[in-house]
Amino acid sequence: MTDKQFRYELRLLGLRGHNENTLRLIVDGLSRQLPVRQISQSTGVTEKTITKMKSKAGAIAGLLSRREGNATSNVNEKHNFIYNSDHQKPIDSNRRRGGIQSSRYDVYGEQRLQIMEGLESRVPREKWNVQYLKTIGFKENISIAMISEHDSIEMYRTRAVQTFPSAYIQESEYEKRVAMGILTPSIQQQEILPPVIKLAMFTSFNRYVELFYIVIFQEIVQDSDVIPPEYTRTALQIIIKGLYDDPLAVRTGEAMIRYSIWRSNQIYREGFVNSLRPWKSTKQQLDRYIAAIDKMVKSNKMYLEKLNSDVFY
């Protein structure tokens, strides 16, 4: 990207005149949820301006990545289409770096790592074997297929961990006293903040998350029930959509399985609805939320029926 193109895109974001390095520091600070005042003191940009940048942090990070030549590849764009259409294609091991992007300015990098580590603690690696998956209700061929898919993506997940030096030094009383002319302050000097560890976006990240949740769902029902595929698909879609910033969506997706809302007895559905009631301020909001879920289930059922008919006829 040329300087002219970079300045033009900055103007489109309403950031005319901002220094490139300053923007990097601001985006890094916002991604780690540092206090606006601390970012302002470190960069010389007003707190009001930084506050306005919060809603644009993702766009700024993307622009800075393209500036470095790390734009999202066509591989990732194709993957997004593949994921949204729910047709997961086999991963080509020859793809360069597995579609791993630079996470230096990725505002979700640290959160993505926390999400992944949380799922890996719920389904540790020793559970990814045919014997265990069969004990919780998976058929043998499904177990083998899931383990194979998990292992093929795992390499990308491991390589996607990236470490960056911290861009900030903690404010301390030591520096303040030195600035006042006290040559030997009686307090200890603060150290540089620890490095920032992020998980970069990589090919099939969403699918990798789905695999963990599919196992979690099966652990919930065990052999006592069979989850209709349209409910599994809907729950996964809701969770993935709210993975970063919507705890209600993640809670809803899991609750659909925990309450077995596909069963004919209305007591299961009523329990599910009541569990979501505290999250909505009015009955009308809750009714609309439940109606949207029902619509997704119906749509997914029609999609899967059509998919099956295309396969067999």
3 state DSSP class of 296? helix
- Rounded distance, CA 120 to CA 138, Å? 19
Is the pTM for the entire model greater than 0.95?
no
Conformational region of residue 218, where left means phi above 0, alpha means psi within -120 to 50, and beta covers everything else: alpha
3 state DSSP class of 197? strand
Q: What residue type is assigned to position 101 of the chain?
A: Q
Sign of CA dihedral 269, 274, 277, 278: negative
Cα–Cα distances (Å) from 173 to 37, 44, 166, 184, in that order, read: 16, 20, 20, 12
β-pairing, 161-164 vs 196-199, is antiparallel
The residues of the chain scoring below 70 in pLDDT are 1, 32, 67-98, 167-178, 182-192, 310-313
3 state DSSP class of 26? helix
Q: Which two tokens stand for residue 228?
A: 């209709």
Task: Name the nearest CA neighbour of 256 among 238, 241, 240.
Answer: 238
CB burial of residue 160 (10 Å; 0-12, 13-18, 19+): buried
β-strand partners of 164: 196
Q: Can you give the pLDDT at residue 189?
A: 53
Q: How far is CA 241 from the centre of its chain?
A: 9
pLDDT tens profile 36-79: 887 887 778 888 888 888 888 877 877 777 765 543 333 333 33
The four Cα atoms 277, 282, 283, 287 give a dihedral, to 10 degrees, of -80
Q: Can you give the pLDDT at residue 128?
A: 97
Domain positions in the chain are 1-70, 72-222, 225-313
Task: Name the nearest CA neighbour of 76 among 102, 53, 58.
Answer: 102
CB burial of residue 165 (10 Å; 0-12, 13-18, 19+): exposed
Q: Can you give the pLDDT at residue 77?
A: 39
3 state DSSP class of 236? helix
- Yes or no: say if 174 and 112 are a contact pair by the CB < 8 Å rule: no
Q: Can you give the pLDDT at residue 230?
A: 96
Q: Can you give the pLDDT at residue 32?
A: 66
Residues 6+ apart with CB under 8 A from 116: 157, 199, 208, 209
Cα–Cα distances (Å) from 97 to 48, 87, 203, 204, in that order, read: 39, 22, 9, 12
Please provide the distance, in angstroms rounded to a whole number, between the alpha carbons at the two ends of the chain. 50
Q: Can you give the pLDDT at residue 122?
A: 96
Q: Can you give the pLDDT at residue 167?
A: 58
Q: Which two tokens stand for residue 104?
A: 């230096």
Q: Can you give the pLDDT at residue 88?
A: 40
